[in-house]
Amino acid sequence: MTLDENKHLTLTEDELVYVKRANCQAAPINAGLFLLNYLKNNNLEEDLEHKTHDVRYYAECIQAYRRKTYTVK
């Protein structure tokens, strides 16, 4: 899952499933927290130990999904 400078989200089909689940949360920050936990618990985040994305990054991913500015690879 990557979010570029133009706030365009690129994710896999597996990640899309979790983004959709997390999107059920009303506030983007809560959805971002759920998304972070989903990815950690299911080992979908590539090289998770070396990445330092925080909840705000995942909240921005949820906002990109809600704006429908995403691509599934």
Domain, as residue range, for 49? 2-72
Tokens read off for 66: 């809600």
- The pLDDT, as a whole number, for residue 44 is 58
Exposed / middle / buried, residue 64 (Cβ in 10 Å: 0-12, 13-18, 19+): buried
pLDDT at 53: 75
Q: Are 3 and 46 in contact (CB under 8 A)?
A: no
Model pLDDT, residue 69: 94
Chunked mean pLDDT (size 10), the chain, 73 residues: 90 90 88 85 58 81 93 93
| Residue in the block written with tokens 């990445």 | 51
pLDDT at residue 13, rounded to an integer: 92
CA distance 64 to 23: 11
Structurally, the chain folds into a number of domains equal to: 1
